[in-house]
A and B are shown apart, each in its own frame.
Chain A
Amino acid sequence: MKACVIQFPGSNRDRDMISALHKIGGEKPDLVWHTDTQLPPTDLVVVPGGFSYGDYLRSGAIAARSPIMNEVCKAAENGVRVMGVCNGFQILTEVGLLPGALMRNAGLRFVCKSVMLKVENADTAFTRLYSAGETIPCPVAHHDGNYFADSETLKQIEDNGQVVFRYAEGTNPNGSINDIAGIVNKQGNVLGMMPHPENLIESDHGGENGRLLFESAMEIAEARAA
């Protein structure tokens, strides 16, 4: 399964993401620059973390209006899997692929630590190798991770099972409504999450709890069996 990573000026988790996709998928992902107007043939588009455009205006706001994002939206409409982590999640909400918005952390501080994540929905393309209700440790590093959606939208995403990851009770680092850490779109092919699974793929570096997310999304087991 072919993956690509979008790079913006100010992306800084792109290399970690490339490394994770390469190590788990066995193939180096294509790199796509933000001014490109075409995506390479791809099954998984990843929008990595960082501070695209210095977080000017709002986190992810300017990146969401860059030329390549039109193509990412078209690909998403065609069912291609799209995954945004941290700043990538902010960009996907700003561009409208995911509902809601990510605001300044309630504590006003940049939060960099490991949190406990509850897998709320293990029936998505990104989480199917986890068990529903399972709790995994995962690092977060952000200033604007406070997820917000109006009450109607919130009800919809909760009722539709679009909340995929929640901060385990008592560990919400940013004030996110309903402890939301990650969501999918209604169709289930676009995921956004604040925590960094790409930093949790090796036992020598904090653990391997993030691997299953990539193995799910890239259909690693299916590729091995084929």
Chain B
Amino acid sequence: MIKARVTVTLKNGVLDPQGKAIEGGLHSLGFEDVASVRQGKVFDMAVDTSDAGQAEKDLAAMCEKLLANTVIENYNVEIIG
């Protein structure tokens, strides 16, 4: 079993009103040094194979086809074990 973590984040230049709202919340809590917040998604995946290379390729295909909307989002696949 291959374990992987997929992160999906908004592309640079795409406005992130939710990140902005979180940033404002942190400022309200006194964390005034927070310069910016960009919100994203994390998918912890288990793939039933022993071939890490194949799993990575498949996960990238999953990102392209469903996990990310590549019009507005970037993705990163990290094999963690």
Contact = CB atoms under 8 A, between A and B. Distances in A.
Contact of B69 (A101, A106, A107): A101
- Interface of chain B, helix or strand or loop or mixed? helix
A140 B74 CA distance: 30
B29 interface: no
B17 A107 contact: yes
Contacts of B15: 103, 106, 148, 175
Nearest to B10: A103
B66 A65 contact: yes
A150 B11 CA distance: 10
A149 B14 CA distance: 9
Given A57-B66, A61-B66, A65-B66, A148 B18 contact: no
Contact of A149 (B17, B18, B21, B71): B71
B21 A103 contact: no
B1 interface: no
Given A106-B17, A108-B17, A175-B17, A100 B66 contact: no
B24 to A, nearest CB: 11
Nearest to B39: A104
A166 B2 CA distance: 48
Contacts of B18: 104, 108
Contact of A104 (B17, B66, B67, B69): B17
A57 B42 CA distance: 11
B17 A150 contact: no
A202 B34 CA distance: 52
A128 interface: no
B72 interface: yes
Interface in B1-51: 14-15, 17-18, 21
Interface string A99-119: 111011111100000000000
B69 A61 contact: yes
A104 B66 CA distance: 18
Contact of A101 (B21, B65, B67, B72): B72
B66 A103 contact: no
Interface string B56-81: 00000000011101011000000000
A198 interface: no
A49 B57 CA distance: 35
Contacts of B14: 103, 148
13 contacts: A57-B66, A57-B67, A65-B65, A94-B69, A104-B17, A104-B18, A106-B15, A107-B17, A108-B21, A146-B17, A148-B15, A148-B71, A175-B15
Interface of A: 57-58, 61, 65, 93-94, 99-101, 103-108, 146, 148-150, 175
Given A106-B15, A107-B17, A108-B21, 6 more contacts: A57-B66, A94-B69, A103-B15, A105-B17, A148-B72, A149-B71
